[in-house]
A and B are shown apart, each in its own frame.
Chain A
Amino acid sequence: MAFQILLNVFLAFCWMFLSNDPSAAGFITGYILGMLSLFFFRRFFTRQFYLWKMFSIIKLFFIFLKELYLANVSVLKTVLSPKLNIRPGIFAFKTELTKDWEITLLSLLITLTPGTLVMDISDDRTILYIHAMDIEDAEKAIFDIRESFEKAIQEVSR
């Protein structure tokens, strides 16, 4: 992905030199034209065309904002309820992600989602130990959410 972006910037500079127009408008024109030519030559790259990856990053960001909002609503409900009947617990979650930055991103997202907090990561980096605020109703719903997170992260790193 970084290589494709670098190539695109390089093509934009080529366009600026060819049209003798060293301005922001010239750069943007060249960038869009370079993006088009990269799109047409996408079968020569080993990775996916990078714009799709950009879209999946943006999608991940919006999922993240939504989950942050939901997390806060659930914390608000728990804090403001007259009687605290929470049943906290720690459960293990087996992850399929392998790279370090993916696991970091996943645990960051888990920490900021409803009722879950990453406590520890096993030494072989396959199991996340997660503290849940309310283990009964949480576990099922949270697994669904986390599947969507994991899918979105895998989409980014593919």
Chain B
Amino acid sequence: MNGNEISEFITVFLMLIGSIISVISAVGIIRFPDVYTRSHAATKSSTLAVLLTLVGAFLYFFITESLVSVRLILGIVFVFLTSPVAGHLIIRAAYRSNVKLADSTVEDELKDALHQKD
């Protein structure tokens, strides 16, 4: 097993793990009961999935063609910065427009704070 094969193995492994994680995050979006728990699955898992896939692509082009693709690095950084903010804004808007929490929800401290203000 020479160096090229090892590097190919690493990139394939990273991309495979990334795609598996994104499949599991999609399953989570189907299985979870309400919009808040769904966004747990959507924000965290898909961020890591995109990260792993992009790192795999970056390493592949770096090793086989010795090309440092700055656009891939920028893509990783931007996904990291934007996807949690998007999740936060979506569930904030959902809560403000009175989307119901799941029945198994035990505690809701935000409700008191919001109603106190009115």
Complexed CA–CA distance, A112 and B31 (Å): 20
CB <8 Å contact, A120 and B92: yes
- In the complex, which of the residues B40, B85, B106 contacts A75, with contact meaning CB atoms closer than 8 Å? B40
Does A68 lie within 8 Å of B88, measured CB to CB? Answer: no
Residues of chain A contacted by B25 (CB below 8 angstroms): 75, 79
Of the listed stretches B6-14, B64-72, B108-116, name the one at the interface; the rest are far from the partner chain. B108-116
Q: Which of A68, A75, A88, A107 contacts B36 (CB 8 A)?
A: A88
Does B15 sit within 8 A of A, measured CB to CB?
no
- A88-B28 CB under 8 A given contacts A72-B48, A127-B113: no
Please give the number of chain B residues whose Cβ is less than 8 angstroms from any Cβ of chain A in the complex.
38
Asked if residues A131 and B91 are in contact (CB atoms below 8 Å), the reply is yes
Chain A binding surface SS class? mixed
Q: How far is the CA of A79 from the CA of B42 in the complex (A)?
A: 12
User: B110: which A residues are within 8 A, CB to CB?
Assistant: 90, 92, 119-120, 129
Chain A interface: which size bin?
Answer: 20 to 34
B21: Cβ under 8 A from any A Cβ = yes
Decide if A56 is an interface residue (CB 8 Å cutoff): no
A80 to B28, CA, bound (A): 8
Q: Is the CB of B109 within 8 A of A129?
A: yes
B4-45, CB under 8 A of A: which get 1 and which 0?
000000000000000001001101100111101101110111
Decide if A107 touches B88 in the complex (CB within 8 Å).
Answer: yes
Query: Which of A92, A107, A119 is B91 in contact with, Cβ under 8 Å?
Result: A119
A117: contacting residue among B24, B36, B105, CB under 8 A: B36
Instruction: Check: A87 CB closer than 8 A to any chain B CB.
Output: yes
**Least CB distance, A105 to chain B, in whole angstroms:** 10
Given A79-B24, A120-B110: A71 in contact with B44 (beta carbons within 8 A): yes
Q: Given known contacts A72-B44, A80-B24, is B37 in contact with A90 (CB within 8 Å)?
A: no
Pair A84/B48 contact, Cβ less than 8 Å = no
Whose C-beta in chain B lies nearest to the C-beta of A80?
A: B24
Which residues of B are found within 8 Å of A97, using beta-carbon distances? none
| B85 CB contacts on chain A under 8 angstroms | 108
| B109 close to A90 (CB less than 8 A) | yes
Chain A residues within 8 Å of B, Cβ to Cβ: 68-69, 71-72, 75-76, 78-80, 84, 86-92, 107-108, 111-112, 115, 117-120, 122, 127, 129, 131, 133, 135
Would you mind naming 20 contact pairs between A and B with Cβ atoms under 8 Å apart? Answer: A69-B48, A72-B21, A75-B41, A75-B44, A88-B102, A90-B101, A90-B105, A90-B107, A90-B110, A92-B110, A92-B113, A108-B85, A111-B84, A115-B40, A117-B40, A117-B43, A117-B88, A120-B92, A120-B95, A120-B110
